[in-house]
A = this chain, B = another copy of it.
Amino acid sequence: MNMKMNVILCLQFLCFFLLSTLFIKASAINVETYESDRIIDLPGQPSSPSVSHFSGYITVNENHGRALFYWFFEAQSEPSKKPLLLWLNGGPGCSSIGYGGVVEIGPLIVNKNGEGLHFNTHSWNQEANLLFVESPVGVGFSYTNTSSDLTKLEDNFVAEDAYIFLVNWLQRFPQFKSRDFFISGESYGGHYIPQLAELIFDRNKDGSKYPFINLKGFIVGNPETDDYYDYKGLLEYAWSHAVISDQQYDKAKQVCDFKQFDWSNECNKAMNEVFQDYSEIDIYNIYAPSCLLNSTSSIADDSNGNGPESFTKERNDYRLKRMRIFGGYDPCYSNYVEEYFNRKDVQSSFHADTKRDTNVAWKVCNNSILRTYNFSVFSVLPVYTKLIKGGLKIWIYSGDADGRVPVIGTRYCVEALGLPLKSRWRTWYHDNQVGGRIVEYEGLTYVTVRGAGHLVPLNKPSEALSLIHSFLTGQHLPTTHG
């Protein structure tokens, strides 16, 4: 062995040693970090089956002290082989934990009156490692130490924060860094999701500046996509589903030019009448019973009425305004979820009680974000066109009983993309019944879910699980009976 050889070996050893140390240290830090986020047991959590879950804060801006709160579930089986699936609710201002997490697709569903949790046999963590994030800042437990951040919220801001969240979350859970990654969500998530996908798609091209995120595609349900088609669809849906009168329909068609960002006063008046009619039912599920709970819970509302009467009027005005502008949701289970997540013992077990202003109640939808959000993007259809060309796997689905982002408008959106037809519109089956219809274009699949409202997995949990299974695995939804 000559000197040169010795030097090489020595260097190799040194390199190995250094690398090992670094690696071990990195692993140790990461494991330690994410292990400290492990949830041991949430109050009221069923004792079986076991659920491996984590929650905590991911800083997205050190200088401003801005952090997003997440809840993560390992897949129920073989988590190391399953993809990573992010879920985003919309609003803007609504919590992915409060809806997706404990009402729709997570393994722990909040019980009536917020008294504990039960296991969801249709949880999507059967199919993927499941990540919920309260986005943007101001939603749920997410917080900032720089309150002016909250005045700056618009789509790009949200996408940027979500991107940084994701990069940093993958630092904390490095075992998912190269894992197949998909994004899912609903409602105004129809803006967030394609925009976040676009940001990842663009930055993945610049490996020198950005870490690679193994994004494979996204799936959005009842998504706000394009204001023109969405509102045209909303109006036509209200008439064809016998919600509004012929006169209201004719009037709104006449005075509204939905191609404009700002509606005329006449259009605003006409559309407010449409929403007034919708205020009597659940616009998000037009055939479902409405929640008849007294909605004056101090938790559920931040209006400033004094007595019950003014409070109710205020509440109604607010509900109407929110319905008019946003894709939020406020049926009875919102109350239950708010009861649950405002319990101190829950917040403590959830690692959510240390860094934020605990005088502010946790809400399913943050009304002040609803009020101040800056809507600057009229349509995300150009993003679709770009990402379809880019080869992402993209699915859209519509619960066909939703009046807020109705199947009619979404069909217009899909049609407007002008994609070549791959396989024609046909029925898909679930448990020998018609689950809905499916049509495949080159680069995009569109699925309807029969009888489901805005929150498809809430109304049709088994069908929704079948849908996400098909999306993630590539196995076709059955299109023949039996």
Contacts and interface: CB of A to CB of B under 8 A. Distances in A.
Interface of A: 236-237, 240-248, 277, 280-281, 286-287, 289-290, 292, 398, 400-401, 407-408, 411, 415, 424-425, 427, 432-434, 436-437, 439, 448, 450-451, 481
Contacts of A243: 437
B242 A407 contact: yes
B242 A432 contact: no
A292 B241 CA distance: 27
Contact of A427 (B247, B277, B411, B437): B277
Nearest to A282: B434
A244 B425 CA distance: 7
Contacts of A448: 242
Could you say which of A242, A415, A450 has the most chain B C-beta atoms within 10 Å of its C-beta? A242
A407 B451 CA distance: 17
Contact of A289 (B236, B242, B287, B433): B433
A347 B277 CA distance: 50
A333 to B, nearest CB: 17
Nearest to A437: B242
B280 A427 contact: yes
A240 B433 contact: no
A400 B240 CA distance: 9
A425 B247 contact: yes
A254 to B, nearest CB: 16
Contacts of A481: 280
B240 A408 contact: yes
Contacts of A240: 236-237, 240-241, 408
Contacts of A287: 287, 401, 450-451
14 contacts: A236-B240, A240-B408, A242-B411, A242-B437, A244-B425, A246-B415, A247-B424, A248-B425, A280-B481, A281-B434, A286-B450, A287-B451, A289-B433, A292-B432
Contacts of A401: 287
B427 A245 contact: no
Contacts of A236: 240
Contact of A436 (B242, B245, B415): B242
A241 B425 CA distance: 14
Given A240-B240, A281-B434, A246 B450 contact: no
Nearest to A432: B292
A411 B246 contact: yes
Could you say which of A407, A408, A450 has the most chain B C-beta atoms within 10 Å of its C-beta? A450
A397 to B, nearest CB: 11
A426 to B, nearest CB: 8
A467 B237 CA distance: 25
A436 B429 CA distance: 30
A450 to B, nearest CB: 6
A286 B427 CA distance: 13
Given A281-B450, A286-B450, 18 more contacts: A240-B241, A241-B241, A242-B436, A245-B424, A246-B411, A246-B415, A246-B425, A247-B425, A248-B425, A277-B427, A280-B427, A280-B434, A280-B481, A281-B427, A287-B287, A287-B401, A290-B433, A292-B432
Nearest to A448: B242
A400 B434 contact: no
A383 B401 CA distance: 36
A448 to B, nearest CB: 5
Contacts of A290: 433-434
Nearest to A452: B287
Could you say which of A248, A280, A427 has the most chain B C-beta atoms within 10 Å of its C-beta? A280
Contacts of A248: 425
Contact of A425 (B237, B245, B286): B245
Contacts of A289: 433
A235 B414 CA distance: 21
A421 to B, nearest CB: 8
A240 B243 CA distance: 13
A233 to B, nearest CB: 10
A243 to B, nearest CB: 7
Contacts of A280: 427, 434, 481
A448 B285 CA distance: 17
A242 B400 contact: yes
A452 to B, nearest CB: 10
Could you say which of A244, A289, A407, A415 has the most chain B C-beta atoms within 10 Å of its C-beta? A289
B245 A439 contact: yes
Contacts of A436: 242
Nearest to A400: B242
